[in-house]
Amino acid sequence: MKGLFKSKPRTPVDVVRQTRENLVHLDLNSGSRGGDAKREEKMAELSKNIRELKSILYGNGESEPVTEACVQLTQEFFRENTLRLLIIHLPKLNLETRKDATQVVANLQRQQVSSKIVASEYLESNKDLLDILISGYENMDIALHYGAMLRECIRHQSIARYVLESEHMKKFFDYIQLPNFDIASDASATFKELLTRHKATVAEFLTNNYDWFFEEFNSRLLSSTNYITKRQAIKLLGDMLLDRSNVAVMMRYVSSKDNLMILMNLLRDSSKNIQIEAFHVFKLFAANKNKPAEVVNILVTNRSKLLRFFAGFKIDKEDEQFEADKEQVIKEISAL
């Protein structure tokens, strides 16, 4: 009998509405234990709806996504608090539905409605959602899902700025060193995204927070005993300092003897990969035209060792830029 009423296909707006109804139902009944069968039925419905949202946004095996359908879906999704409900109730969903939900949220961050990114506007007035997403790194079961959503949200410059300026930035130094590799790497990827994506915002952040940030960065990440933490941190430091928009920060960094000492120790790390990344930062100290006396002192004291080190410093594949940089560094140090 039911089949008779199914003749009208559901519109994207219908699917979003039903998803929201399912989520509200979940919200109201989260405490109650009774009616497990009913609850499971609702859950199955929700899973089906979220999968439907995904296939509208991404297309399915046979068909590409339709722009008009995506626009309708996006509008309806952000018209009310569907995103909030979805994020809050994510831990209650099963694994497959969590993955679908993550992909839906990720896709929605890029959808435009009359050339405006609706998601960005929504998040700006719901910034507490970012607090929830970031705290996900403390829960193994949802960390990877929240982490993936978070990285999509910080594509919006205003949202990235919010996170950079929040107290959460300090927490990342812990998250990056979590023992669980997938979660630590996820946090590390988010951290990197925050510090490299929006150039002007990053430059402003680094300038205003120079002291505590590099203090933490040097002592906790570059001096970490964890191989991965060290390797990712030195790579990120290179990416940050070599970015043109961060010139002022770079000049400040390479004028410090303490920073130089850390980098020189990384040059003789047992890992070749770390050595190479450290070289890309060390060369900035050597190339600095206005080296402070304390930096010159250290370089002069260790001149012969440094020259001997660079004479034998090779990378596996040919790299003209690397060789040229090395020549330059050798020249600078010899001339001191």
For another protein, the binding residues (CB under 8 A) are 58, 95-96, 99, 103, 144, 179-182, 185-186, 189, 226-228, 231-232, 261, 264-265, 267-273, 294, 297-298, 301-302, 305, 308-309, 311-314, 316, 318
* Minimum distance from residue 7 beta carbon to another protein (Å): 27
Q: Min. distance of Cβ 157 from another protein in angstroms?
A: 18
The smaller minimum CB distance to another protein, of residues 35 and 292, is found at 292
Task: Work out the end-to-end distance of the chain between its first and last CA atoms, rounded to an integer number of angstroms.
Answer: 90
Q: Which is nearer to another protein, 113 or 189 (CB)?
A: 189
In angstroms, the CA 273 to CA 287 distance is 22
- Long-range contacts for 25-31 (Cβ within 8 Å, ≥24 apart)? 26/85, 26/89, 26/92, 27/85, 27/88, 27/89, 30/89, 30/92
Q: DSSP state, 9?
A: P
Supply the minimum distance, in Å, between the C-beta of residue 313 and another protein.
Answer: 8
DSSP result, 241-266: HTSGGGHHHHHHHTT-HHHHHHHHHH
Q: Which is nearer to another protein, 202 or 267 (CB)?
A: 267
CB 238 within 8 A of CB 281: yes
Shortest CB 335 distance to another protein, Å: 19
Which of 90/144 has CB closer to another protein? 144
> What is the closest distance, in whole angstroms, from the C-beta atom of residue 257 to another protein in the complex?
8
Q: Are 219 and 229 in contact (CB under 8 A)?
A: no
Q: Rounded to the nearest whole angstrom, what is the least distance from the CB of residue 301 to another protein in the complex?
A: 5
| Closest to another protein by CB, 212 or 227 | 227
Name the residue nearer to another protein (CB basis): 19 or 107: 107
In degrees rounded to 5, what are phi and psi of residue 35?
A: 65, 50
